[in-house]
Amino acid sequence: MTPMSTFQTTRLTFGEMTLLEDDLVEVVVDDGIEMDVDMVREYHRTLTSIAKPPFRLLVNKRNRYSYTFEAQLGLVDIPNMGAIAVLSRRLETIRTTRALATLPRVRPWHLRIFQDRRVALMWLARHKGGYACALDSFLTAEHPSASAAPSQSRRLSTVTTGRTGSVRSAARPSG
């Protein structure tokens, strides 16, 4: 009989983080929380203490919560951040996540939005060991009404290039 794998779950003041693999953490924020800068610092401290870099995140947005503006700017803006998969089935949350992803950052996010946890974990598995270097298809969510108009469905890729960290964006049809 094979032993069941156990996951390390850490309770935070605003939610919980579960270590799924040595570099993969699932984050669940409690319902009704407004994340502030102190909570973001706690988030960063906990992430760096339980997981090995480069970090991969599964942000499970099953609850409704919000962020202060300062918290939005510092969210997952830490060295060694790899891929970020956001799991949500609510159109409102998908739109909010897209808006949050477009805020200026010191380090760009490599982020994608999913409705299916299994698919999100498969995407994260393909990004093991990779550093965040691009904002990957944040405009293309797996939600049928996520785009403004199906005929105008676009995918935006932001690629960091060169030593200076210059950024190039290109829109192309999703597919």
| Predicted structure pTM score | 0.71
At residue 35, the pLDDT reads 96
Query: Which token pair is 28?
Result: 């669940």
CATH 3.90.1640 fits 8-146, yes or no: no
**Splitting the chain (175 residues) into consecutive groups of 10 residues, what average pLDDT does each group show?**
66 98 97 97 95 95 93 82 93 86 76 95 90 41 38 30 31 37
Q: How far apart are CA 67 and CA 53, in angstroms?
A: 25
At residue 26, the pLDDT reads 98
Are residues 101 and 135 in contact, defined by beta-carbon separation less than 8 angstroms? yes
At residue 167, the 3 state secondary structure works out as: strand
